[in-house]
Amino acid sequence: MSWTNEEINEIYEKVMQKAKTDEEFRQELLVNPNQAIAKLTNKELPDGFAVKILENDPNYNATFVLPDLSTGELDLDDLDNVAGGLSVAVVISVCAVAVQVK
């Protein structure tokens, strides 16, 4: 993916702010979130990046979004982030140290 976590967080904030006051934007988010976000940010979403938009249901007091299921192991993207592009052998030793510290 070509967006950083910081960019995703900034875009999330923009989307939430606009969705609070713009009914037309909210509807577009529900129908085609990638297109609505691209229009808002003037930046296409990375290939394969899917967004799911949920609207609060007045029949419920809260809406929860579950976190990703964690197996306790780092996936390849996590390994890349930890290693910063180092070789696989170095990544494994860095991850082992990181896991032990926690």
Flag whether the pTM goes above 0.75: no
CA atoms within a 13 Å half-sphere pointing along the CA-CB vector of 57 = 5
Question: Between the CA atoms of 38, 43, 46 and 52, what dihedral angle is there, to the nearest 10 degrees?
Answer: -30
> 47 or 82: whose pLDDT is higher?
47
17: pLDDT strictly greater than 90: yes
Please state the rounded mean pLDDT for residues 58-77: 83
Domain ranges for the chain: 1-65, 69-102
> 26 or 86: whose pLDDT is higher?
26
37: pLDDT strictly greater than 90: yes
Q: DSSP alpha helices (H): ranges in 1-102?
A: 5-21, 23-31, 33-41, 76-83, 88-101
